[in-house]
A and B are shown apart, each in its own frame.
Chain A
Amino acid sequence: MDDPVRRASFSRRALLLGAGMAGTGALLAGRMAWLSLFHGDEYRLKAEGNRVQNRLVPPRRGWIVDRHGKPIAMNRPDYRLELRPADIIDAGRDLDATLIAIRQVIDISPDDELRIRDDIASQPRFMPVVVRQGLSWPEFSACNVRLATVPGVEAVQSFSRHYPEGERLAHLIGYVGAPTPEQYRAEKNPLLIYPGYRIGKDGIERHEDRRLRGSAGAARVEVTARGELVRELGTRPDKPGDTLKLTIDRDLQNYAARRLGDNSASVIVMDCQTGDVLAMVSMPAYDPNIFSTRVPAKLWNALQKDDHTPLLNKSAMGLYPPGSTFKMVSTLAALEAGIDPDEAVLCTGAYRLGSNTWHCHARRGHGGVNMHRALPLSCDTYFYAMGRRVGVDAIAAMARRLGLGQEYPLPIPGQAGGIVPDKAWKQKRYGKSWREGETLNASIGQGYIITNPLQLAVMTARLASGKAVLPRLIDDGQTPDFPSLGIPESHLAIVRQGMVDVVNAGYGTARAARSPVPDVLIAGKTGTAQVRRISMAERKRGVIRNEALPWKQRDHALFVAFAPAGAPRYAVSVILEHGIAGGRYAAPVARDVLTYLFEPERALAVLPAIEAEVAERRASRASLEQADSIAEENRRLMPSWLKLDIKPPVFEVADPDAPQPPREPE
């Protein structure tokens, strides 16, 4: 049966097959050696890369504290759920399924879902999107347990910024927010796309961002293919940001903000000697706590539309004509030009130059006025005459010496520089030569001249101390020593006495600002800056009282002051936008703020009445707005043929070139 030939043939074939098998075996062994010996290092690295992940530990942001160490900006633990579009959409997963999985654990409101989808559509994929923040602890732990295996979804515990004073320091401190894609691209710092990481977006938070950021730590962790953490291999702790100590006095800031009520206003308090800014209030403002998370569109629109400009830092960026608060500059310029302080000018209520008439705020005139009485009376005619004699360039030079028209080295983004006009400036700006009438306007702080409240505070501090004081916001532990202004003490004494008389003499324009604190005299100067033009026709009819005008056309009320008059320590500038009259409305604010520095209890006693009034006004405005919205609804539903379009009247704003009309007595 068994054929030897067949057997031999089989053996040959079997040998062939066996050789094939051996060859394959050798190939496999060789391949394995190739992988593990010759490329072993490379694959070991890859295996390590799989296994070990370097996780960032974001640094805690540095605190911001006031001069006494009270917190102004601090960190609070915050739980939120975040989503990384890159891990969902790019990995081919379904966003809807992910959202449904999240919904089974926590609620997502339709608004939130819209926002999430918007963000995913508009942002680059690597930017994390917040699903919900401010999760409660049970929600957070539920997310941790039940969403741990959903890829691209992460429950994050982090610290969110908290501003205990809310809007009262909003403009100065600013707020924090998520970095923009552009910032990440510019900086390439992986921290910037760390879920929940916030950087400074405005104010000091933005300017001092690098100092406050600190440096990130790192954790080497072992993770599974699904990203679950197995164990920590080692950590380098994060270095929290520096604590930033400001010169601000939190309680004073707080008081000033409350004292302003619902005014659109700015208050600045400075130390005359050191330049420390004790308070820098700009009201109304926004709540930085809301801004640091996410601003609802409705709130944002309301803030933008508000005519009280809550988004503008009026203290540093608002620009206003200084009005009569500029008269100290004119006085010093006149003294420097050698004008005798006892020389009198006759004020008849009007000052003629060429064919135009400039009016004094006192319609019947002040009679004979010398330098000592000019400031307390705020007699425009005197300054028209003196300004004309010394010329605009001398006035501008003095203004610059006192710190106007310049930006200070402060850690706030976007200071307004203002304008101190002179002949060269006009030539450059308008290509026209200076006219003498403009000198008259400039000498009483109207016309081209424009300043911001901070500059007025610095001016006052320089007048009070005689030193070239510069404001500072960050308390670095040193006491700066400023050089003298180089203005003779005798000149300054005349101006200071004039300012004392503004408040304390029987004929002064700011008798309302007299100090309630015994032994402490307040010296100050009122200003009322006009924002509209008064026509000849109106002047004949009788000028409309400011209170009867719409808010937008009322005069700005200004007041600058320092105290105690004998040994100046604090300088204040107050601006109430459209506040009608400096003496009547701005001066009492300055008085109360200064009083708070000496006798807080007495100052606090005035608050309840003011706040009650504000609350009442708010309530009535709210009811008006409600009525308006009903009226608006009715108008919308009304058939078009019944509609009457009534346009609101348009008022022109005064031409800065025009002669100065008389104003109401201050």
Chain B
Amino acid sequence: MDLLNGPWRRELARLPWGVVLLISAIAGFGTMVLYSAGGGSLDPWALKHGVRFAILLVGALALAMLPPERWLALAWPIYFTLLLALVGVELVGAVKGGSQRWLNLGFMEFQPSEMMKLAIILAMARYFQYVPKGYESKPDVLLPALAIIAMPVGLVMLQPDLGTALSIMFGGIVVMFLAGVRLWLFGAAIAGVGALLPVAWNLLHDYQRKRVLIFLDPESDPRGAGYHITQSKIAIGSGGLSGKGFLQGTQSHLDYLPELHTDFAFATMAEEWGLMGGLFVIILYGLVLAWGIRTAVNAGSQFQRLLALGLMSTLFFYLAINMMMVMGLAPVVGIPLPLISWGGSSMMTVMILLSLVMGVARANRPNRD
């Protein structure tokens, strides 16, 4: 009886159940979208998506029970293990002669770069936890921080996987920003990149330039690379205010929309649910992000703050890039929409991400008993 009435109940009660409800709503909606994408059938995506979410949610809640101090202690071991794994991937890839992102552990396929998106936040938060106030912008602090970012980014670029590399870089830089590195340094960095753009343009191959140009004007190549964006915009635009109705999407059901269940799941959804559906998803995620920011601001240590908000920024990066892509505001990169798009490994990443933030929230929740 002690097990039921004892600290367990109290500990569980400290979990942020409101957010659990929010993400369950998002994943449930995602299941409906996948049900429609599958032609009005639980097979092949919807059922697995729901079951997978349920299992991962239980796992995430269990993981959220770990106190943030444990993560602080594990930060470096996790970071360096993953760095080693990335090197391993590179070696195996070189042996197999091709791009390699997966490491076969025998019992499962493991993608170190995916986990690195989280580990970089962990490592950077750990790093800045012990940097005294006022020293953040000193070169001997900045340089190791940049090295922590540059190593995994460089390895992932070698795979090559530009999308993931950018995501890792974004996470690292956001943590630096939150840790208090001076703003003018970011301004200078942005200016520097801006100045280098024309040079980079000249270094690009013709086909790469063409890709960029097609992104800027997708209608110029309606059959080729612009096809995805054009069809996605048609799907979203034709949905109107309230959509064509559940299971009534023509762009998705008649195969005009490519990748309708993964990268373009948002377009599949928007066609059938219209602007209302889109705003629903945006607002739900907005609430999740707002909760994350509040959790970070209220957290008890710099590590927890940086960890929580860094992770939330990574989630935001996923969301923003994916939606911008399907609406024709960003080039086509393979980034799925969290909890809605089909795909086990991306869902696992997102659930671990959320569980870490939930852990922070739980640790800082005032004990009401």
Question: Would A18 and B293 count as touching, CB distance under 8 A?
Answer: yes
Question: Would B316 and A44 count as touching, CB distance under 8 A?
Answer: no
**Any A CB within 8 A of the CB of B240:** yes
Residues of A within 8 A of B223 (CB): 91-92
Residues of B within 8 A of A91 (CB): 223
Question: Would A6 and B237 count as touching, CB distance under 8 A?
Answer: no
Residues of A within 8 A of B305 (CB): 7, 10, 14
Question: Would B133 and A31 count as touching, CB distance under 8 A?
Answer: no
List CB contacts (< 8 Å) of B297-355 with chain A: 297, 300-302, 305-306, 309, 313, 316, 320, 323-324, 327, 329
Assembled-state Cα–Cα distance A5/B270 (Å): 45
Residues of A within 8 A of B177 (CB): 13, 17
Q: How far is the CB of B196 from chain A (nearest CB, A)?
A: 23
Residues of B within 8 A of A47 (CB): 234-235, 237-238, 250-251, 256, 271
- Residues of B in contact (CB 8 Å), total 49
Binds B, one of A34-42, A75-83, A174-182, A195-203: A34-42
Q: How far is the CB of A207 from chain B (nearest CB, A)?
A: 43
Q: How far is the CB of A223 from chain B (nearest CB, A)?
A: 7
Residues of A within 8 A of B30 (CB): none
Residues of B within 8 A of A222 (CB): 250, 254
Of B133, B290, B309, B324, which one neighbours A28 at CB under 8 angstroms?
A: B324
Question: Would A50 and B236 count as touching, CB distance under 8 A?
Answer: no
**Any A CB within 8 A of the CB of B172:** no
**Any A CB within 8 A of the CB of B275:** yes
**Any A CB within 8 A of the CB of B286:** yes
Question: Would B316 and A21 count as touching, CB distance under 8 A?
Answer: yes
Question: Would B238 and A14 count as touching, CB distance under 8 A?
Answer: no
* Residue interface mask A605-645, B partner, CB < 8 A = 1: 00000000000000000000000000000000000000000
List CB contacts (< 8 Å) of B207-229 with chain A: 223
Question: Would A17 and B133 count as touching, CB distance under 8 A?
Answer: no
Assembled-state Cα–Cα distance A383/B223 (Å): 81
**Any A CB within 8 A of the CB of B151:** no
Question: Would A6 and B302 count as touching, CB distance under 8 A?
Answer: yes
Residues of A within 8 A of B166 (CB): none
Assembled-state Cα–Cα distance A222/B270 (Å): 21
Question: Would B327 and A35 count as touching, CB distance under 8 A?
Answer: yes
Residues of B within 8 A of A24 (CB): 316, 320
Contacts A25-B282, A50-B234 given: A9-B180 contact, CB under 8 Å?
A: yes
**Any A CB within 8 A of the CB of B20:** no
Residues of A within 8 A of B290 (CB): 18
Assembled-state Cα–Cα distance A234/B174 (Å): 57
List CB contacts (< 8 Å) of B238-285 with chain A: 238-241, 250-251, 254-256, 270-271, 274-275, 278-279, 282, 285
Question: Would B239 and A29 count as touching, CB distance under 8 A?
Answer: no
Question: Would A39 and B237 count as touching, CB distance under 8 A?
Answer: yes
From A223, which residue of chain B is reached at the shortest CB distance? B254
Assembled-state Cα–Cα distance A14/B255 (Å): 42
Contacts A47-B238, A50-B234 given: A31-B327 contact, CB under 8 Å?
A: yes
**Any B CB within 8 A of the CB of A46:** yes
**Any A CB within 8 A of the CB of B296:** yes
**Any B CB within 8 A of the CB of A114:** no
From A13, which residue of chain B is reached at the shortest CB distance? B178
**Any A CB within 8 A of the CB of B289:** yes
Question: Would A42 and B237 count as touching, CB distance under 8 A?
Answer: yes
- Residues of A in contact (CB 8 Å), total 43
From B300, which residue of chain A is reached at the shortest CB distance? A2
Residues of B within 8 A of A2 (CB): 300-302
Of A35, A225, A230, which one neighbours B236 at CB under 8 angstroms?
A: A35
**Any A CB within 8 A of the CB of B233:** yes
Residues of B within 8 A of A11 (CB): 297
From A32, which residue of chain B is reached at the shortest CB distance? B278
From B278, which residue of chain A is reached at the shortest CB distance? A32
Question: Would B254 and A51 count as touching, CB distance under 8 A?
Answer: yes
Question: Would B133 and A5 count as touching, CB distance under 8 A?
Answer: yes
Question: Would B275 and A3 count as touching, CB distance under 8 A?
Answer: no
Question: Would A46 and B238 count as touching, CB distance under 8 A?
Answer: yes
Q: How far is the CB of A85 from chain B (nearest CB, A)?
A: 16
Of B239, B250, B255, B286, which one neighbours A22 at CB under 8 angstroms?
A: B286
Residues of B within 8 A of A46 (CB): 234, 237-238
Q: How far is the CB of A86 from chain B (nearest CB, A)?
A: 12
Question: Would A36 and B282 count as touching, CB distance under 8 A?
Answer: no
**Any B CB within 8 A of the CB of A226:** yes
Of B180, B236, B271, which one neighbours A6 at CB under 8 angstroms?
A: B180
From A49, which residue of chain B is reached at the shortest CB distance? B234
Residues of A within 8 A of B274 (CB): 36
Question: Which of B179, B238, B316 has the largest number of chain A CB atoms within 10 A?
Answer: B238
Assembled-state Cα–Cα distance A36/B328 (Å): 13
Contacts A28-B324, A91-B223 given: A226-B255 contact, CB under 8 Å?
A: yes
Of B240, B255, B306, which one neighbours A37 at CB under 8 angstroms?
A: B240
Assembled-state Cα–Cα distance A37/B236 (Å): 10
Q: How far is the CB of A27 from chain B (nearest CB, A)?
A: 8
Question: Would B278 and A29 count as touching, CB distance under 8 A?
Answer: yes
**Any B CB within 8 A of the CB of A548:** no
Question: Would B254 and A230 count as touching, CB distance under 8 A?
Answer: yes
Residues of A within 8 A of B293 (CB): 14, 17-18, 21
Contacts A35-B237, A40-B237 given: A10-B275 contact, CB under 8 Å?
A: no
Q: How far is the CB of A221 from chain B (nearest CB, A)?
A: 11
Assembled-state Cα–Cα distance A232/B306 (Å): 59
Question: Would B282 and A33 count as touching, CB distance under 8 A?
Answer: no
Assembled-state Cα–Cα distance A6/B275 (Å): 41
Of A3, A31, A37, A43, which one neighbours B329 at CB under 8 angstroms?
A: A31
Assembled-state Cα–Cα distance A36/B180 (Å): 40
Contacts A14-B296, A21-B316 given: A43-B237 contact, CB under 8 Å?
A: yes
Question: Would A43 and B254 count as touching, CB distance under 8 A?
Answer: no
Of A14, A44, A226, which one neighbours B297 at CB under 8 angstroms?
A: A14
Question: Which of B223, B278, B285 has the largest number of chain A CB atoms within 10 A?
Answer: B278
Residues of A within 8 A of B231 (CB): 50
20 contacts between A and B (CB under 8 A): A2-B300, A13-B177, A17-B178, A18-B293, A21-B293, A25-B285, A29-B282, A35-B233, A36-B239, A36-B275, A39-B237, A42-B237, A43-B234, A46-B234, A47-B237, A47-B250, A47-B256, A50-B250, A224-B254, A225-B256
Residues of A within 8 A of B (CB): 1-3, 5-7, 9-11, 13-14, 17-18, 21-22, 24-25, 27-29, 31-33, 35-37, 39-40, 42-44, 46-47, 50-51, 91-92, 222-226, 230
Q: A17-B293, A50-B231 are in contact. List 12 more A-B contacts (CB 8 A).
A: A9-B180, A10-B305, A13-B180, A32-B270, A36-B236, A40-B237, A40-B238, A40-B240, A42-B237, A43-B234, A50-B256, A224-B256
Give the 6 A-B residue pairs with the shortest CB-CB distance, closest first: A43-B237, A47-B238, A225-B255, A35-B237, A40-B240, A43-B238
